[in-house]
A and B are shown apart, each in its own frame.
Chain A
Amino acid sequence: MNLFWIEIYKTFSRWRTYIGFGVIALIVIITEVVMKLSADEILHRMLRSLEKDFLISGNVLNGWFVTTFIMNSLHIHIPFLITLVAGDMVSSEATSGTVRLLLIRPPSRSRIISAKYITTLFYTAGLVLFLGLLCILLGLTLFGSGDLIIHHYGRFGITYLSEGEIPLRMFFAFMAAIWSMMVVASIAFLLSTLVENSVGPIIGTMAVVVVFLVMGNFPLDFFRSLKPYLFTSYMTFWQRFLDDPIPWQEIGSSAAVLGLHAIVLFLIALGVYTRKDIKS
Chain B
Amino acid sequence: MKKHIWAFLIPLLLSSGLVFGQEDGTRYLEGLERKYSGLKDYRVDVKVHVDMEGFKAPDMQGELFLKAPDKMKVESKKVFFLPKEGGHFNPFMFKKEAFDTRLLEHITYDNQKAVKLKLLPKDLKKMKQGFVLILDVESYQIREFHTSSEEREGRGVIEYGRFKGFDLPTRIELHLDVQFKESFEMKEFGQSSPRERRVTGKIEISYSNYKVNSGLSDEMFGNPREEK
A interface residues (Cβ-Cβ under 8 A, vs B): 40, 43, 45-46, 48-50, 52-60, 146-147, 149, 151, 153-160, 162-163, 217-219, 244
Contacts and interface: CB of A to CB of B under 8 A. Distances in A.
A154 B80 contact: no
Contacts of A163: 78
- Name the 5 nearest CB pairs between A and B, nearest first: A160-B57, A58-B79, A147-B79, A157-B54, A244-B56
Contact of B87 (A48, A55, A160): A55
Contacts of A45: 183, 185-186
A56 B79 contact: yes
A168 B200 CA distance: 31
Nearest to B64: A55
15 contacts: A43-B225, A45-B185, A48-B183, A50-B81, A53-B176, A53-B178, A54-B83, A54-B84, A57-B62, A59-B79, A153-B186, A153-B188, A156-B182, A160-B79, A244-B56
A244 B58 CA distance: 10
Given A49-B182, A154-B182, A219-B191, A57 B75 contact: yes
A53 B198 CA distance: 13
Given A154-B188, A156-B199, A58 B78 contact: yes
B74 A57 contact: yes
Nearest to B54: A157
B56 A57 contact: no
A58 B195 contact: no
A49 B183 contact: yes
B75 to A, nearest CB: 6
A53 B174 CA distance: 12
B70 to A, nearest CB: 14
Interface string B77-109: 111111111010000000000000000000000
Most chain-B CB neighbours within 10 Å: which of A52, A146, A162, A218? A52
A56 to B, nearest CB: 6
B15 interface: no
Given A146-B79, A160-B79, 8 more contacts: A45-B185, A55-B84, A55-B228, A56-B79, A155-B54, A157-B54, A160-B57, A217-B189
Interface in B159-193: 176, 178, 180-183, 185-192
A157 B76 CA distance: 23
B197 interface: yes
Contacts of A147: 78-79
B152 interface: yes
A49 B87 contact: no
B56 A158 contact: yes
A157 B199 CA distance: 10
B138 interface: no
A246 to B, nearest CB: 11
Contacts of B8: none
B57 A53 contact: no
B75 A156 contact: no
Interface string B186-228: 1111111001010100000000000000000000000001101
Interface in B42-87: 54-58, 60, 62, 73-85, 87
